[in-house]
Amino acid sequence: MGDLDRIDGGPRSAIVIGAGVVGLSTAWFLQERGVSVTVVDRAGIAAGASWGNAGWLSPGLSIPLNEPGVLRYGLRTLLDRQAPLHVPPSPDPRLWSFLARFAANCTGRSWTRAVEANAPLNDECLEAFDVLTTNGVDAPTIEAPITAAFETADHAAGLIGELRRIEEVGQGVSYTRLTAADLAERFPQATARLGAGVRIDGQRYVDPGRFVESLARSVVSRGGTIRHKFEVASLRAYRHALSVRSKTGQTVNANAVVLATGAWLGDLGRKWGVKIPVRAGRGYSFTVPTDEPVPGPLYLPDIRVACTPYRGGLRVAGTMEFRKPDARLDPARIAAIIASARPYLTGLDWERRTDEWVGSRPVTTDGRHVIGATSTPGLYVAGGHGMWGLTHGPITGRLLAEHITTGKQPEALRPFDPLR
């Protein structure tokens, strides 16, 4: 294969592997810069973590997973199948190596480094959504505070401490303490077990499946191509081009390739020099009818459950389960979420739930995303966003598109270097 044409030293064409919010956002912003884009995916649009998540656009709550308290909590609940954090018994040495490295990063210093890295993305992430929704992506973002509810004020103090530490690194966060009466007045679903809360202002939410599907349509309407059922088997690099081959023998060629494969990034990235391990932290969700409308997103940090108004009902999402990304949905995890949430929420018809779903979020060992160039010329990665792939997807795409087309690494991407 000969070299493909390039624009002023930059790529004329790109292949994005992965049709979730991160990959499609990257494709869209590459198109803004004049690059012809082909998106390929092993399954289809929003087939991974992009469809069934809570739909929060929450820069104020984009708190890294490697908080020191998570390690203490994880050790206490390691063998509890009902706990929000679950690691099934497994002989997989890579999993245990990953968890050991993750535990080593559950320190105040590493957590602060991740918070500092996220701050520039949090400052610009909502603006990146606005760029998309004012330029062809027909899926509204809804402004609403996210309310975190706790049994006691002492429990709420833990989140307030984290928000203060986020403020200390320069990220603006607006929040207000709430009493039990405040919670009951705003949320008819809140039971008497909820005695204190924190309202985080300046946040939004969205129907994530609708948003990603609309983003895909926008990419296609702007001249892009999306290929489904394209599972990557190999990649070959040439002087100014790369060739991606599927397991069924299809081949696509371009000047640049972006790996945006979510929880599958670990396997593909390891083949091509990405040093940061990425594992699947699987989350579950479902939708339940409600007796009364839900006014906005509600977070129950004590049980790690996120609730969002969704198509006339309530989407309930939770758990962090370290299994292979392709493992089947475990009904016991759905039951565990319901059992933990029942004491705090009323007016929900748990038995008439629909849309039961499991999706794999890409988790890194040090709490930081993996975004940027690899050691292979023309090959880039965008992933490792943990629970914040939707919030940071569009801003990741915008910054990475700048990096790819100019050859200059934006300052905001330096902490996320895949070769760190």
- Whether 398 has a pLDDT exceeding 90, the answer reads yes
Helix, strand, coil shares of the chain, percent, nearest 5, are: 35, 25, 35
Quick one: DSSP state of residue 143? E
Contact 197, 148 (CB under 8 A): yes
Contact 280, 324 (CB under 8 A): yes
Write out pLDDT tens, residues 150-172. Answer: 999 999 999 999 999 999 988 99
Could you tell me how many helices (H) and strands (E) the chain has, helices first? 10, 23
CATH 3.50.50.60 for the 6-416 domain, yes or no = yes
**Mean predicted confidence (pLDDT) in 217-237:** 96
What length does the chain have?
420
Q: What is the pTM of this model?
A: 0.94
Write out pLDDT tens, residues 348-394. Answer: 999 999 999 999 999 999 999 999 999 999 999 999 999 999 999 99
Segments making up each domain of the chain, as ranges: 6-416
- Whether 3 has a pLDDT exceeding 60, the answer reads no
Q: What is the dihedral of CA 129, 377, 385, 403, to 10 degrees?
A: -30
